[in-house]
Amino acid sequence: MNSVRIFLEILLWIFYAYVAITSLYIFIFAFAGLFRYRKKSPKDNIQRKFAILIPGYKEDEIIVEVCRDALEQDYPKDKYDVVAIADSYQPETLAALRELPIKVIEVSFEKSTKSKALNKAMEVLGDAYDIALILDADNLIADDFLMKMNEAFQAGYIAVQGHRVAKNADTGFAVLDAISEEINNHIFRKGARIMGVSSAIIGSGMAFEYSFFKTMMKDVHAIGGFDKEIDLKMCRDGITIEYIHDAYCYDEKVQKAEVFQHQRRRWLSAQWVYFKRFFLASFIALISKGNIDYFNKAFHTFLPPRILLLGFMSIIFFISLFFLPGVMAFAWIGLFALVVLTFFLSVPAKFYSMQTLKAIWLLPKGFFLMFLSLLKLKGANKQFLHTKHSSSGTSSKEIKNKMR
């Protein structure tokens, strides 16, 4: 019995070490995110030409409004083209898109992926652009988005992530998803840049030097999480990814529990795949070449999702109060306090509201769904898992005015 108890205590301390390392890591970056980030001064004043690439799979309900919105930029009209990459759209949707002053590229694949759609579009477009801006089919962008992204390229960057925020908070899960996005923005984007390492990219609201992106994407064949793959590869190759905190991209947040689980399963699967592919290589690069940026980015695949971290910490916190021996109990209680403080520092003030308080009651359900997703990872990264988006019935101008 004593040997079993000792074995269990050892396991618990090992788990504690893992949680302590990951919790301390996100706390440091969360604290850094409280400070002001100073952008680099521009090296030129060139107005670059953008290809706004909007891949979408069966997004008939929203794509026309999204493309209309993308046309309304405070940027010279001859310096950007909106490109709808239409995968499996209805004929009436294609007809409506072709009435707009945009480019429509139809694609069709046996197995659809975002990377395939982007590669095909750039093959058709040729090389007449300076910048590739990637949006999802539900994204709206602030009217000054291109201007602010262009300023980052004038400073010499070749990869830039904008600030993606929620455009809806109509359900409890949408609120939780919006908060999760902002926590990640604070820690892994703003905090990361202040700490001197690359911002994490998200998959949309991101821009790249066009020729660089076109060449890089030829070697990307990911079914899920293609953004994580190029994120890691860029840091491996010494490319710094900038983050523009005041360049806003409005993104639809999940509204239902089943969509939340569906999406998180895809993300967890991609995280596990890229952990296996890149973590050891990044550690070797850290030791042999001093590539901190690459190891830091690969370390993200080692981190537990925030909702799982908070869930497990909450469970162990209550166990600590009644069942764990003194030293271990104090250690877990202290760690729980650190995690709570980290989230407190990372959540924007606008979310401290009654709406958020009501949404918090869904956290146990969200934790349970994430835990179930861990048990169903097999095959999730080998098939295209589409998250369907819907129209809110609110115009893009109304949404953006509300966000100001």
Using left for φ > 0, alpha for ψ between -120 and 50, and beta otherwise, residue 386 falls in: beta
Q: Provide the β-strand partners of residue 162.
A: 244
For 94-104, write each residue's pLDDT tens digit: 999 999 999 99
Burial class (CB in 10 A: 0-12, 13-18, 19+), 127: exposed
Q: Provide the β-strand partners of residue 140.
A: 250
Instruction: Between 223 and 164, name the one with better pLDDT.
Output: 164
pLDDT score at 55: 95
pLDDT score at 365: 82
Question: What is the Cα–Cα distance from 242 to 193, expressed in whole angstroms?
Answer: 7
What is the amino acid identity at position 82?
V
- What is the share, in percent, of the chain residues with pLDDT greater than 70? 88
Q: Give one DSSP letter per residue of 344-377, joined into a string.
A: HHHS-GGG-SHHHHHHHTTHHHHHHHHHHHHTT-
**Closest by Cα among 266, 149, 280, 269 to 205:** 149
Instruction: Between 382 and 3, name the one with better pLDDT.
Output: 3
**Which segment of 166-170, 197-201, 285-289, 373-377 scores lowest on mean pLDDT?**
373-377
pLDDT bin (cut points 50, 70, 90) of residue 379 is low
Instruction: Between 401 and 115, name the one with better pLDDT.
Output: 115
Question: What is the Cα–Cα distance from 273 to 245, expressed in whole angstroms?
Answer: 29
pLDDT score at 158: 96
For 126-143, write each residue's pLDDT tens digit: 999 999 999 999 999 999
pLDDT bin (cut points 50, 70, 90) of residue 388 is low
For 158-177, write each residue's pLDDT tens digit: 999 999 999 988 888 889 88
The pairing of strands 50-57 and 131-134 is parallel
- Provide the CATH number for the domain around residue 156: 3.90.550.10
Instruction: Between 368 and 222, name the one with better pLDDT.
Output: 368
Domain of 214 in residue numbering reads as 50-268+386-403
pLDDT score at 273: 86
Residue 373: inside a domain: no
Q: Residues 200-207: what's their mean pLDDT?
A: 95
- Residue 250: in which H helix or E strand, if any? strand 242-251
Residue 351: inside a domain: no
Q: Is the pLDDT score of 154 beyond 70? A: yes
Burial class (CB in 10 A: 0-12, 13-18, 19+), 322: exposed
Instruction: Between 5 and 192, name the one with better pLDDT.
Output: 192
Residue 288: inside a domain: no
Question: What is the Cα–Cα distance from 59 to 57, expressed in whole angstroms?
Answer: 5
How many domains would you assign to the chain? Answer: 1
Question: What is the Cα–Cα distance from 197 to 25, expressed in whole angstroms?
Answer: 13
pLDDT score at 225: 73
Q: Residues 359-382: what's their mean pLDDT?
A: 71
pLDDT score at 403: 58
Residue 390: inside a domain: yes
pLDDT bin (cut points 50, 70, 90) of residue 399 is low
**Closest by Cα among 68, 65, 67, 64 to 53:** 67
Residue 354: inside a domain: no
Q: Is the pLDDT score of 391 beyond 60? A: no
Q: Is the pLDDT score of 93 beyond 80? A: yes
For 329-355, write each residue's pLDDT tens digit: 888 889 999 999 999 999 999 999 999
Instruction: Between 135 and 2, name the one with better pLDDT.
Output: 135
Whole-model pTM above 0.85?
yes
Residue 176: inside a domain: yes
Residue 315: inside a domain: no
Q: Residues 45-60: what's their mean pLDDT?
A: 95
**Maximum CA pair distance of the chain?**
76
Q: Residues 85-93: what's their mean pLDDT?
A: 94
pLDDT bin (cut points 50, 70, 90) of residue 325 is confident
Question: What is the Cα–Cα distance from 274 to 298, expressed in whole angstroms?
Answer: 8
Residue 295: inside a domain: no
Question: What is the Cα–Cα distance from 85 to 134, expressed in whole angstroms?
Answer: 11
Average pLDDT, the chain: 88
For residue 383 the two structure tokens come to 């098939």
Q: Is the pLDDT score of 267 beyond 90? A: no
Instruction: Between 142 and 322, name the one with better pLDDT.
Output: 142
For residue 172 the two structure tokens come to 């409890």
Question: What is the Cα–Cα distance from 270 to 272, expressed in whole angstroms?
Answer: 5
Question: What is the Cα–Cα distance from 102 to 106, expressed in whole angstroms?
Answer: 13
Q: Provide the β-strand partners of residue 80.
A: 50
Question: What is the Cα–Cα distance from 111 to 383, expressed in whole angstroms?
Answer: 8
Question: What is the Cα–Cα distance from 371 to 351, expressed in whole angstroms?
Answer: 25
Q: Give one DSSP letter per residue of 19-73, joined into a string.
A: HHHHHHHHHHHHHHTTSPPPPPPPS----PPEEEEEEEES-TTTHHHHHHHHT--
Q: Residues 232-257: what's their mean pLDDT?
A: 90
Question: By three-state DSSP, how is residue 105 classified?
Answer: strand
Instruction: Between 145 and 254, name the one with better pLDDT.
Output: 145
Q: Is the pLDDT score of 385 beyond 80? A: no
pLDDT score at 282: 97
For 58-149, where are the E strands, in sequence order?
80-87, 103-107, 131-134, 140-141
